[in-house]
């Protein structure tokens, strides 16, 4: 099997510079032990965690404006972890989780590239119950509602990690499953607002939405 090919790049967000090693493109694949296959990750979907998607860049840019005081933050389905790396640079109390077998090692490598402190990470499928990471005041993610069944799995996973008062921010590019997710979150007691983020600095155009869910007293958040 050919070795993975990488791309090294620097993402500039305001005055911050985030160094990254990503996959060169979304044609890469490596699963020598069959671990990804056992998790239901096909060769076609295997590389999706390892590149920067527009929704992930939008999330990171929103997190550059997010009020952080006293908040524990969890990035769900972190992939390459751009938002977590940005929050780490801001000295936020951030943790991350992803199902992919390689997500943790890529995150650790990129933390080291940026000479920053380690981010608590746990590899977990949404359907396997809560992680050991605890409860959070803010839960974030980007492009998570990829398939129809993800709405139910994600809403359950988010709620299992949410403090009684919690904000949830999901950047959705519009794959058609956000409506079902909103309904399930409403059933769990979350209200929703949405906006269309506009950043002239984005490397690729983004026409999706920032979905913000709130349970309990509203916190000071970003302005998109």
Confidence of residue 223 (pLDDT cuts 50, 70, 90): very low
The number of folded domains in the chain is 1
Does residue 27 sit within a domain?
no
Q: Which residue's structure tokens are 């993610």?
A: 141
Does residue 90 sit within a domain?
yes
Does residue 205 sit within a domain?
yes
Per-residue model confidence as pLDDT tens digits over 83-108? 999 999 999 999 999 999 999 999 99
Does residue 121 sit within a domain?
yes
Does residue 209 sit within a domain?
yes
CATH of the domain at 170: 3.40.50.150
Provide the β-strand partners of residue 23: 6
What string of H, E and C letters represents the secondary structure of 72-141? EEEEECCCCCHHHHHHHHCCCEEEEEECCCCHHHHHHHHHHHCCCCCCCEEECCHHHCCCCCCCEEEEEE
Does residue 55 sit within a domain?
yes
Q: Which of 173, 81, 54 is nearest to 73 (CA)?
A: 81
Q: pTM of the predicted model, to two decimals?
A: 0.94
Task: For 109, list phi and psi in degrees, rounded to 5.
Answer: -60, -45
Does residue 41 sit within a domain?
no
Does residue 224 sit within a domain?
no
Give the residue numbers spanning the domain of 65: 51-215
> Residue 222: its pLDDT value, please?
47
pLDDT higher than 70, residue 129: yes
pLDDT higher than 60, residue 40: yes
> Residue 31: its pLDDT value, please?
95
Residue 118 and residue 222: Cα distance in Å, rounded?
A: 25
> Residue 198: its pLDDT value, please?
80
Q: Map residue 10 onto helix, strand or coil.
A: strand
């Amino acid at each position: 099997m050919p070795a993975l090919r990488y791309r090294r790049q620097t993402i500039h967000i305001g005055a911050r510079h985030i160094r990254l090693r990503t996959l060169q493109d979304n044609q890469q694949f490596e699963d020598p032990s069959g671990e990804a296959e056992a998790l239901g990750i096909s060769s076609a979907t295997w590389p999706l965690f390892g590149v920067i998607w527009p929704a992930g860049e939008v999330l990171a840019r929103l997190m550059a404006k997010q009020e952080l005081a006293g908040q524990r933050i969890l990035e769900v389905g972190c992939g390459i972890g751009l938002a977590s790396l940005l929050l780490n640079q801001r000295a936020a109390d951030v943790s991350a989780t992803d199902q992919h077998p390689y997500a943790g090692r890529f995150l650790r490598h990129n933390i080291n590239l940026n000479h920053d402190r380690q981010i608590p990470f746990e590899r977990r499928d949404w359907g396997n119950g809560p992680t050991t990471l605890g409860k959070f005041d803010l839960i974030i993610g980007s492009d998570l509602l990829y398939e129809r069944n993800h709405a139910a799995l994600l809403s359950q996973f988010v709620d299992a990690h949410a403090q009684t008062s919690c904000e949830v921010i999901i950047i959705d590019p519009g794959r058609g499953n956000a409506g079902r997710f909103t309904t399930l979150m409403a059933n769990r007691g979350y209200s929703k607002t949405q906006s269309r983020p506009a950043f002239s600095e984005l490397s690729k155009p983004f026409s999706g939405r920032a979905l913000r869910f709130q349970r309990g007293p509203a916190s000071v958040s970003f302005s998109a």
